[in-house]
Structure 1
Amino acid sequence: MAHPQMFDDDDPVLARVREICLALPQASVKISHGRPAFFTKKVFTYYGGSIKVDGEWLSHDQSIMVLPDPDDAEALRQDPRAWVPGYLGPYGWLGIDIDLDADWDEVAELVTASYLLTAPAAARHELQQR
């Protein structure tokens, strides 16, 4: 069963996230479960996500879901913008709410950290050579 599209192609926040993600070596995008998923061999960033609150799914449409660097994960969990996504949270993933006023350098750092944890060695090497 196909999932309905849960994002707006014209979302300017998604455009910025797409630019950051697709600038990384060997990165591509696919739609997974109705949301953009940026990947090499494995997904390193999702745009948008949800969390179950009191039995209801609460959507975080303008957010990124990333696998944080283990050294930064605990501090990120304390950030008021952070949330533990359904399904991926038990595997260490975190959601971070963002908007057009986001610190885009920070967003790029979060995306890059997730990329470095999931990308193949050749892609990581290519990034380090830049």
Structure 2
Amino acid sequence: MLAAMGHPQVVDPSHPLVERVRAICLELPEAVEVEAWGRPTFRAAKPIFVHVSASMERPFSIVVKTDPEEHLALMQDPRFFGPPYYDRNHWVGVDIDAPDTDWQLLAELIETSYRQVANVRQRTALDALRPTHAGG
């Protein structure tokens, strides 16, 4: 697949780490993948909830939108960083290529990010998939 005009491909979309992120993202209701800025992005229909590759220097990373109540705690964790070009009060980056990557935590952060941008119908559909999470 050709990269969008003017943007070189930052990361191989078929890399196993990207495939793992894709599998987590695409199980969420109405989630779609759209290539943008030479990177895979995952969207709740239109709004982005995951960007793969925070920067050219960190191709194996993801950027997620945080729950405002969790943001400061995440930024105090050395695994997370303020990604360039994103609002650092709402978005965090995390590398996915470390040998000790916590994929369960990443799946929770991806779902939280989805909930930050999803509409009511999408959140309701997600709650139906996650009965223990319904209502908060």
TM > 0.5: yes
- In the other structure, the counterpart of 1:126 is 125
Q: State which of 6, 17, 21 in structure 2 corresponds to 1:2.
A: 6
Q: 1:1-130, aligned counterparts within 5 Å?
A: 1-40=5-44, 41-50=46-55, 59-90=57-88, 92-99=90-97, 101-130=100-129
Q: Which has the higher strand share?
A: 1
Deviates more, 1:11-20 or 1:87-96: 87-96
SS at match of 1:70: coil
SS at match of 2:111: helix
- What's the C-alpha RMSD, in Å, of the aligned pairs? 1.5
Displacement of 1:48: 0.9
Inter-partner Cα distance in structure 1 for 2:14 and 2:123: 30
Displacement of 1:71: 1.2
Q: Which is bigger in relative contact order (C-alpha 8 A, separation at least 6)?
A: 1
Q: Is the CA contact (8 Å cut-off) linking 2:67 and 2:90 kept in structure 1?
A: no
AA aligned to 1:120 is N
Unaligned runs of 5+ in 2: 130-136
TM-score where L is the length of structure 1: 0.87
TM-score where L is the length of structure 2: 0.84
Unaligned runs of 5+ in 1: 51-57
The list of structure 1 runs, each at least 4 consecutive aligned residues, that deviate by more than 6 angstroms after superposition, is none
